[in-house]
Amino acid sequence: MQRRIFAISDNEPSLTQSQFLTSAGIFEGAILVVALIGGWLTGCAPLATLSWSVQDFGFGILATGPMLILLILCMVSRSKGLVQIREFVRDSIGPYLSDCRWFDIVLLAILAGVCEEAFFRGFLYLWIQDWNPFLAVLICNLLFGLAHAVTPVYAMLAAFLGLYLTALIAADPTPNLLIPMTAHTLYDLIAFIIVIRDFRKHESEEQQTQNEG
């Protein structure tokens, strides 16, 4: 029998583990489908700038560094808004991620990195850029922030990270979508691992408090 997790509240049952993974896959897959359909309708293929390059793959890995620095700063910050984000993420998706197998975590990160970058940077940004580069940056990253708007502060942070990922494309005279895809995927993978550790630590502390009580 699959474990049923109550991630949001005790009165609102959430999905089972397999339902969570399936829902995540459908959601990310839908983003990719929208990107492909949009590319077909507009002539701006979302994967047109994607090509394999060891050098760009390595650059994508290095480009994850600044994003991870920001993540670490957010994790150690005592700001009320950031603490609320950490607690929300820990309590809402921490139970799901904690029950995932390692290859589930890797697959989730790859799906997010590939599908979201194909839509936001591969299609939306490059399509609007032909009309107005400034609007392309603005619209692409506002929508990226709204797509991650679990809280207003989280939306702002996501938009900022989106701006950084967009810069990896915009600043390159020969843009390769592989760079932001790699950075996004690796960042999400490490972020998932941090959420799992945070959830398990919190769960262990709560259990210890109950035992002492």
The chain-wide mean pLDDT, for the chain, equals: 89
Whether 35 is in a domain gets the answer: no
Can you say whether the dihedral through the CA atoms of 72, 73, 76, 80 is positive or negative? negative
pLDDT at 9: 42
For 124-155, the pLDDT digits (tens) are 999 999 899 999 999 999 999 998 877 788 88
Burial class (CB in 10 A: 0-12, 13-18, 19+), 85: buried
In degrees, rounded to 5, the angle at the alpha carbon of residue 107 between the alpha carbons of residues 178 and 157 is: 65
For 81-136, the pLDDT digits (tens) are 888 889 989 998 999 999 999 999 999 999 999 999 999 999 999 999 989 999 99
Q: Which residue has the higher pLDDT, 34 or 213?
A: 34
pLDDT at 208: 77
Whether 178 is in a domain gets the answer: yes
pLDDT at 10: 43
CB-based contact 50:177 (threshold 8 Å): yes
Query: For tokens 């998706």, what's the residue?
Result: 93
User: What range defines the domain where residue 118 resides?
Assistant: 66-203
pLDDT at 7: 41
Q: Which two tokens stand for residue 51?
A: 């090509």
pLDDT at 204: 87
Residues recorded for the chain = 213
pLDDT at 3: 44
CB-based contact 60:178 (threshold 8 Å): yes
Residue (of 85, 103, 113, 90) closest to 21 by Cα position:
103
How many domains are contained in the chain?
A: 1
Backbone phi and psi for residue 99, each to the nearest 5 degrees, phi listed first: -90, -5
Whether 32 is in a domain gets the answer: no
Q: Which residue has the higher pLDDT, 174 or 8?
A: 174
Q: How confident is the model at residue 213 (pLDDT cuts 50, 70, 90)?
A: low
Rounded CA gap, 212 and 26, in Å?
43
Number of other CB atoms surrounding residue 2 within 10 Å: 10
- Mention every residue, 6+ apart, whose C-beta is less than 8 A from residue 98: 196, 199, 200, 203
pLDDT at 1 over 50: no
Backbone phi and psi for residue 173, each to the nearest 5 degrees, phi listed first: -65, -25
pLDDT at 64: 97
Q: Which residue has the higher pLDDT, 209 or 26?
A: 26
DSSP letter for each residue of 93-133: THHHHHHS-HHHHHHHHHHHHHHHHIIIIIIIIHHHHTT-H
Whether 183 is in a domain gets the answer: yes
For 165-211, the pLDDT digits (tens) are 999 998 888 889 999 999 999 999 999 999 999 999 988 888 877 77
Whether 40 is in a domain gets the answer: no
Q: Which long-range contacts (CB under 8 A, 24 or more apart) does 41-47 make?
A: 42/123, 42/127, 44/123, 44/126, 44/127, 44/130, 45/123, 46/118, 46/119, 46/122, 46/123, 47/118, 47/122, 47/177
